[in-house]
Amino acid sequence: TKRVTVTTLQKMKEQNEPIAMVTAYDAPSAAVAEAGGADVLLVGDSLGMVVLGYDSTVPVTMEEMTHHTKAVSRKSQRALVVTDLPFLTAHLQKDEVLKAAARLLQEGGAQAVKVEGAHAVLSGIEACVAAGIPVMGHIGLTPQSVHQLGGYRIQGKDSETAQRLLEEAQTLEAAGVFALVLECVPEELAQRISQELTIPTIGIGAGRGCDGQVLVYHDLLGYGSGGRVPSFVKTYASIGEAARQGVHSFVEEVKSGRFPTEEHVFRLDPAVMEGLYG
């Protein structure tokens, strides 16, 4: 099977074919997301909240991103694997940014990295692009800046911030990013940015005008621990509830002695058994 590449995504934009990106954090989620037809697997640093139990993406380390990227890459065969540079990494000296991105490709097995922000991370992005490392941009709600943004809220609602986001998008395209995530921005702004750029935009909470959409795996599958999901999420399955019911049935059958039954046990050869009883 031929893998989706950054060129494939560019062609998809040109042919008006929507891009579907799904987060994946481990081998099983990578397998399911690919089997479901996702074009891009994003090893998002949302893994910090979704599978590691942190309360934001800020504590996520390079070690953790590498570990999870390896698991996704081992299983992935067809989708483009993109992985997040964790908090602060893209703001380091050029050499350090390059080393981190290279590690996620060489050791992690990803084909591209994603970087939050624009002007403050531009030199790092340019260094990666110059070194042959494809970079996906990410503007609007940038969760690594949650403490500065004052929460997870919509961005670009007034003319000044809307203008700034359009300008950031153009700056990132000029810097060579191959695609751009727009998170939590008004539909009209995301549409305007998508029309202005030649590279594909991938929206999350950014409406219908983007060239693609991304959702968090656990959110779209209803695989959470029961907490609420943002209003821009559509839930397509109830995996969390099915999992709770499954575990509950197991526990009940163990406690009532209904599991295991004949079909689940291994038997001893009668001669060996005789020996056991002397």
Alpha-carbon span 255 to 119, nearest angstrom: 59
**Min CB(42)–ligand KIV separation in Å:** 6
The distance of closest approach from Cβ of residue 86 to Na ion in the complex, given in angstroms and rounded to an integer, is: 9
Site string for ligand KIV, 67-86 (x = CB under 6 A): -----------------x--
**Residue 52 amino acid letter:** L
Number of residues that bind ligand KIV (CB under 6 A): 11
Q: Specify which residues 22 forms β-bridges with.
A: 41, 215
Minimum distance from residue 92 beta carbon to Na ion (Å): 18
Q: Does the annotation flag 39 for ligand binding?
A: no
Q: From the CB of 2, what's the least distance to ligand KIV, in Å?
A: 25
Q: What is the 3-state secondary structure (H, E, C) of 185-225?
A: CCHHHHHHHHHHCCCCEEEECCCCCCCEEEECHHHHCCCCC
Nearer to ligand KIV, 26 or 45 (CB): 45
CA 67 to chain centre: 14
Is 107 designated active site?
A: no
Q: Which of 14, 34, 183, 187 is catalytic?
A: 183
**Is 39:8 a contact under the CB 8 Å cutoff?**
yes
Residue 123 labeled ligand binder: no
- Using DSSP's 3-state secondary structure scheme, residue 10 falls into helix
Task: Closer to ligand KIV by CB, 19 or 252: give it.
Answer: 19
Nearest residue to the partner ligand KIV, using Cβ: 44
How many Cβ atoms sit within 10 Å of the Cβ of residue 255?
9
Q: Which residue has the tokens 């996704």?
A: 72
Q: Which does 113 bind (CB under 5 to 8 A by kind): Na ion, ligand KIV, none?
A: none
Instruction: Determine the interface stretch with Na ion among 76-84, 149-157, 165-173, 187-195 (rule: CB under 5 A).
Output: 76-84
The helix/strand/coil state of 246 is: helix
**CA-based R_g, the chain, Å:** 22
Per-residue binding string, ligand KIV, 11-50, x by CB under 6 A, is ------------x------------------x-xxx----
Examine residue 216 and tell whether it contacts ligand KIV (CB under 6 A). Answer: yes
CA distance 44 to 77: 18
CA angle 197, 37, 227 (to 5 degrees): 85
For the CB of residue 183, give the shortest distance to ligand KIV in the complex, in Å.
6
Give binding residues for Mg(2+) as ranges. Answer: 45, 84, 116
Q: Which residues bind ligand KIV (CB under 6 A)?
A: 23, 42, 44-46, 84, 181, 183, 204, 214, 216
Catalytic residues: 183
